[in-house]
Amino acid sequence: MKRIRPKLAVWKFASCDGCQLSLLDCEDELLEIAGEIEIAHFLEATSASAGGPYDLSLVEGSVTTAHDAARIQEVRKQSRFLITIGACATAGGIQALRNFADVREYAAIVYARPDYIQTLATSTAIADHVKVDFELRGCPISTRQLVETISAFLAGRKPQTPPHSVCVECKIAGNLCVMVGHGTPCLGPVTHAGCGALCPSYNRGCYGCYGPMETPNAPSLSAWLGKLGMDEDALKRVYRNFNANADAFRKESERHDR
Amino acid sequence: MAKADEAAATITVEGLQALLRAIRAGGYRAIGPTVQNQAIVYDDIESVDDLPRGVTDEQDGGRYRLARRDDDALFGYAVGPHSWKKYLHAPKLRLWTAERVGENASVTPEAPPTDRLAFIGVRACEIRAIEIQDKVLVNDMYVDPHYQALRESALIVAVNCGKAGGTCFCVSMHAGPRVEQGFDLALTELLDGTEHSFLVETGSDEGRALLAQVPHRLASSREVEAGEAVIEHTAASMGRNMRSDDLNELLMSNLEHPRWDEVATRCLSCTNCTLVCPTCFCTSVEDTSDLSGARAERWRRWDSCFTMDFSYIHGGSVRASAKSRYRQWMTHKLATWIDQFGSSGCVGCGRCITWCPVGIDITEEVRAIRGGDASTEDSR
State phi, psi for A54 to the nearest 5 degrees.
-120, 145
Among candidate residues A104, A133, A155, the one where a domain is terminated: A155
| CB-based contact, B217 to chain A, within 8 Å | no
Q: Identify the pLDDT of residue B36.
A: 98
| pLDDT above 80 for B378 | no
Q: Identify the pLDDT of residue A4.
A: 86
Q: What's the whole-model pTM score?
A: 0.95
Domain assignment of residue A160, yes or no: no
User: Cβ contact (<8 Å) for B265 and A163?
Assistant: no
- The C-alpha atoms of residue A3 and residue A21 are separated, in whole angstroms, by 28
Q: Identify the pLDDT of residue B135.
A: 97
Q: Identify the pLDDT of residue B379.
A: 41
| Residue A119 CB contacts under 8 Å (≥ 6 apart), including other chains | A64, A65, A103, A107
| CB-based contact, A203 to chain B, within 8 Å | yes
User: What is the 8-class DSSP label of residue B217?
Assistant: E
| CB-based contact, A167 to chain B, within 8 Å | yes
Same domain, A111 and A182: no
CB B299 within 8 A of CB B288: yes
| pLDDT above 90 for B194 | no
Same domain, A216 and A110: no
| CB-based contact, B133 to chain A, within 8 Å | no
Q: Which of A35, A151, A165 sits opposite B289 (nearest CB)?
A: A151
Residues B13-49: tens digit of each pLDDT:
999 999 999 999 999 999 999 999 999 999 999 999 9
Domain assignment of residue A135, yes or no: yes
Instruction: Name the CA dihedral angle for A121, A123, A126, A128, rounded to a multiple of 10 degrees.
Output: -50
What's the half-sphere exposure (Cβ side, CA atoms, 13 Å) at A90? 24
A-B Cβ pairs (cutoff 8 Å, strict): 132
| CB-based contact, B272 to chain A, within 8 Å | yes
- Which among B70, B75, B52 is positioned nearest to B227, based on CA atoms? B75
Domain assignment of residue A27, yes or no: yes
Domain assignment of residue A224, yes or no: yes
Residues B73-119: tens digit of each pLDDT:
999 999 999 999 999 999 999 999 999 999 999 999 999 999 999 99
Cβ contacts (< 8 Å) between B288 and chain A: which residues?
148, 151, 160
User: Cβ contact (<8 Å) for A171 and B272?
Assistant: yes
Q: Which of A150, A154, A167 sits opposite B270 (nearest CB)?
A: A167
Cβ contacts (< 8 Å) between A223 and chain B: which residues?
266, 358
State phi, psi for B213 to the nearest 5 degrees.
-85, 0
- B64-to-A32, A94, B280, B364 alpha-carbon distances in Å: 47, 34, 21, 18
Residues B249-266: tens digit of each pLDDT:
999 999 999 999 999 999
Q: What percent of chain B has pLDDT over 70?
A: 96
What mean pLDDT, rounded, does chain B reach?
95
Domain assignment of residue A69, yes or no: yes
Q: Identify the pLDDT of residue B69.
A: 97
| pLDDT above 50 for A219 | yes
To test the contact with chain B by mutation, choose from A215, A224, A227, A252 the residue with the greatest count of B C-beta atoms within 10 A, namely A215
Same domain, A58 and A143: yes
Same domain, A208 and A248: yes
What single string gives the DSSP state of each residue in A12-41? E-BS-SHHHHHHHH-HHHHHHHHHHSEEEE
Query: Taking residues A34-46, what's their average pLDDT?
Result: 93
Q: Identify the pLDDT of residue A111.
A: 94
Query: Taking residues B306-311, what's their average pLDDT?
Result: 96
Q: Identify the pLDDT of residue A46.
A: 87
Q: Which of A155, A162, A180 sits opposite B309 (nearest CB)?
A: A162
Residues A146-191: tens digit of each pLDDT:
999 999 999 999 999 999 999 999 999 999 999 999 999 999 999 9
User: What is the 8-class DSSP label of residue B84?
Assistant: T
- The C-alpha atoms of residue B79 and residue B90 are separated, in whole angstroms, by 19
Pairing mode of beta strands B155-160, B39-44: unpaired
Q: How far is B262 from chain A (nearest CA, A)?
A: 11
| pLDDT above 50 for B211 | yes
| pLDDT above 50 for B380 | no
Among candidate residues A92, A122, A155, the one where a domain is terminated: A155
Q: Identify the pLDDT of residue B377.
A: 46
| pLDDT above 90 for B371 | no
Q: Which of A160, A163, A181 sits opposite B39 (nearest CB)?
A: A181
Same domain, A207 and A146: no
Q: Identify the pLDDT of residue A79.
A: 98
Same domain, A132 and A175: no
| pLDDT above 80 for B374 | no
- Which among B126, B348, B152, B335 is positioned nearest to B251, based on CA atoms? B335
Residues A6-18: tens digit of each pLDDT:
999 999 999 999 9
Query: Taking residues A207-232, what's their average pLDDT?
Result: 98
Domain assignment of residue A2, yes or no: no
B103 versus A87: which is more confidently predicted? Answer: A87
Beta bridge partners of B25: none
| CB-based contact, B94 to chain A, within 8 Å | no
Residue of B nearest to A161 (CA): B286
Among candidate residues A102, A124, A155, the one where a domain is terminated: A155
Q: How far is A169 from chain B (nearest CA, A)?
A: 10
User: Cβ contact (<8 Å) for A164 and B359?
Assistant: no
Q: Identify the pLDDT of residue A48.
A: 87
User: Cβ contact (<8 Å) for B271 and A33?
Assistant: no
Q: Identify the pLDDT of residue A258.
A: 78
Query: Taking residues A83-98, what's their average pLDDT?
Result: 97
Looking at the 3D structure of chain A, how many domains does it have?
A: 2
- The C-alpha atoms of residue B18 and residue B110 are separated, in whole angstroms, by 36
User: Cβ contact (<8 Å) for B82 and A220?
Assistant: no
Same domain, A122 and A240: no
| CB-based contact, A136 to chain B, within 8 Å | no
CB B91 within 8 A of CB B137: no
| CB-based contact, B41 to chain A, within 8 Å | yes
Rounded to the nearest 10 degrees, the angle between the axes of helix A143-155 and helix A27-36 is 20
- The C-alpha atoms of residue A121 and residue A101 are separated, in whole angstroms, by 9
Query: Taking residues B193-208, what's their average pLDDT?
Result: 95
When pLDDT is cut at 50, 70 and 90, the band that residue B372 belongs to is low
Same domain, A234 and A151: no
What residues of chain B, 182 to 211, have a C-beta less than 8 Å from chain A?
none
Q: Identify the pLDDT of residue A139.
A: 97
Q: Identify the pLDDT of residue B193.
A: 81
User: Cβ contact (<8 Å) for B265 and A35?
Assistant: no
Q: What ipTM score was computed for the predicted complex, to two decimals? A: 0.95
User: What is the 8-class DSSP label of residue A223?
Assistant: H
| pLDDT above 50 for B376 | no
Domain assignment of residue A37, yes or no: yes
- A220-to-A223, A238, B354, B364 alpha-carbon distances in Å: 5, 14, 17, 18
Domain with A79, as residue range(s), is 7-155
To test the contact with chain B by mutation, choose from A33, A180, A206 the residue with the greatest count of B C-beta atoms within 10 A, namely A180
- The C-alpha atoms of residue B247 and residue B380 are separated, in whole angstroms, by 12
User: Cβ contact (<8 Å) for A189 and B322?
Assistant: no
What CATH number does residue A146 fall under? 3.40.50.700
User: Cβ contact (<8 Å) for A180 and B355?
Assistant: yes
Q: Identify the pLDDT of residue A2.
A: 59
CB A210 within 8 A of CB A194: yes
Domain assignment of residue A79, yes or no: yes
Same domain, A124 and A194: no
